[in-house]
Amino acid sequence: MDLFINRKEILEMKGFILLAVILTAFFFSFKGGLINEYQLEPTATVDPTPTIITSPTSVILKGVASFYDRSVCVGREYGVNCKTASGEIFNDEELTFASLNLDFGTEIEFGFNGKSVVCKCNDRGPYIQGRMFDLSKACADAIGMTGVKEVEYKINAE
């Protein structure tokens, strides 16, 4: 038995790893993979690519959002040790939201049915395919949003 791996064996392993990655991606491409426990409402868009709406003063985007509340603190005491990814204590009465790729502290103005509210990013999520944001209950209530809906949003550059 040889203790060293030669170049040919390394190349063979690269091919195996690449095949495993491709098969994994293929498996998870069907209906959201294993994380498809929630279904989008018929009114929601499943395309995660934002729609751009141009206006004279700014660029407004559209994307799918859901909301979350203190039920995310299952097994943890709400208001004490239920922390967000930023380290802040989770409070569903604050105007906050979760995003997978925005920096913590980023402010976004969300709009729905003619109402708008500015909220701050302090958590990571949503982890469900097709959704872009998880709004706190206070943020969703401020714009009258329930369930999973397409919302307009504008990133505040200040």
Q: Which amino acid, residue 39?
A: Q
Query: CATH number of 51-155: 3.30.70.1710, 2.40.50.1040, 2.40.40.10, 2.40.37.10?
Result: 2.40.40.10
Cα(139)–Cα(96) distance, integer angstroms: 7
pLDDT tens for the chain, residues 1 to 158: 455 556 666 556 666 666 666 666 655 555 444 444 444 444 444 455 555 454 445 678 999 999 988 877 777 776 667 888 999 988 889 999 999 999 999 999 999 999 999 999 999 989 899 999 999 999 999 999 999 999 999 987 65
Sort strands 115-123 and 96-98 into parallel, antiparallel or unpaired. Answer: parallel
Domain boundaries, the chain: 51-155
